[in-house]
């Protein structure tokens, strides 16, 4: 087990997080799946080709819980080689119609959650001078969008955080990647999946393949930004 690479995926219960979890496990990684619903994580893990995984439930907006879970992960498993920050929530309407609770959820989960989880791995990665942080941001972190004002605000924050830690780590062997993708065909948009031919939404498996290809460790190379747009964009 100690020879396996270890990836921790936040928001692994569905969509892109689930696709990445499966593909990493297929490649031989030990995968730690994190999300708010244990049943969803277990459903994802049942598809894995190997039993090299662990599951933890977590609300990333709660810093004390984040610290406790990451301590359990490092106590029970091997060091973390890759952290994928993929937890996210979105509410879409005219700016004045977004409720206080919705504003707080988007800032707390999308932005603060990314910060809290990243803080938990940075010290150990710096000590080993080894590791990758992959932040799943969205093109909402690149440009403002109608009826996405607060969602964009949270994602612009993640972009600023990502670019800043990349600069902080530029003299190390750590890698930081910001992934900016358009709309995907996931349950993020509702309970029912969409008709991809009609909506132009991307399949999460395709996006996962692009992420894996661009975040592989290569000598003297770091890919700080990956922008993946819908064909019609």
The mean-pLDDT minimum among 73-82, 108-117, 156-165, 199-208 falls in 199-208
Is 154 a member of any domain? yes
Q: What is the per-residue pLDDT for 194?
A: 47
Q: C-alpha 224: how far from its chain's center? A: 15
Residue 189: pLDDT band (50, 70, 90) is very low
How many helices (DSSP H) and strands (DSSP E) are in the chain? 8, 7
Is 233 a member of any domain? no
CATH number of the domain within which 68 lies: 3.40.50.720
pLDDT in tens, 200-212: 688 999 999 999 9
Residue 55: helix, strand or coil by DSSP? strand
Q: Residue 156: is its pLDDT beyond 60?
A: yes
What mean pLDDT is reported for the chain? Answer: 91
Residue reference for tokens 């975040």: 215
Is 15 a member of any domain? yes
Domain count, the chain: 1
Is 184 a member of any domain? yes
Distance between CA atoms of 158 and 165, rounded to whole angstroms?
A: 11
Is 71 a member of any domain? yes
| End-to-end C-alpha distance for the chain, whole angstroms | 44
Distance between CA atoms of 222 and 78, rounded to whole angstroms?
A: 24
Is 188 a member of any domain? yes
pLDDT in tens, 83-126: 999 999 999 999 999 999 999 999 999 999 999 999 999 999 99
Q: Show the domain range for 177.
A: 6-228
Question: What average pLDDT does range 37-66 have in this prediction?
Answer: 97
Q: What is the per-residue pLDDT for 183?
A: 81
Is 1 a member of any domain? no
Residue 144: helix, strand or coil by DSSP? coil
Q: What is the per-residue pLDDT for 199?
A: 57
pTM score: 0.91
Is 215 a member of any domain? yes
Cα–Cα separations (whole angstroms), residue 15 to 48, 137, 146, 180, 218: 15, 14, 24, 15, 27
Distance between CA atoms of 139 and 216, rounded to whole angstroms?
A: 22
Helix axes 15-26, 38-45, angle to 10 degrees: 40
């Amino acid at each position: 087990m100690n020879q396996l690479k270890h990836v921790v995926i936040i928001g692994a219960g569905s969509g892109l997080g689930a696709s990445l979890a499966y593909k990493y496990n297929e490649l031989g990684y030990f995968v730690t799946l994190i999300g708010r619903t244990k049943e969803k994580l277990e459903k994802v893990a049942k598809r894995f080709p190997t039993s090299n995984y662990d599951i933890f439930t977590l609300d990333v907006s709660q810093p004390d819980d984040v610290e406790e879970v990451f301590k359990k992960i490092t106590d029970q498993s091997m060091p973390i080689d890759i952290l994928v920050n993929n937890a996210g929530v979105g509410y879409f309407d005219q700016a004045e119609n977004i409720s206080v609770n919705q504003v707080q959820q988007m800032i707390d989960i999308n932005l603060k959650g990314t910060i809290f989880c990243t803080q938990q791995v940075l010290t150990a990665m710096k000590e080993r001078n080894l590791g990758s942080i992959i932040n799943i941001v969205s093109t909402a972190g690149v440009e403002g969008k109608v009826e996405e004002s607060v969602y964009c605000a949270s994602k612009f924050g993640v972009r600023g955080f990502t670019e800043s830690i990349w600069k902080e780590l530029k003299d190390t062997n750590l890698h930081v990647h910001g992934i900016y993708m358009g709309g995907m065909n996931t349950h993020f948009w509702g309970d029912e999946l969409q008709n991809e031919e009609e909506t132009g939404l991307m399949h999460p498996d395709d996006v996962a393949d692009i992420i894996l290809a661009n975040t592989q460790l290569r000598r003297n190379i770091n890919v700080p930004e990956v922008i993946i747009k819908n064909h019609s964009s």
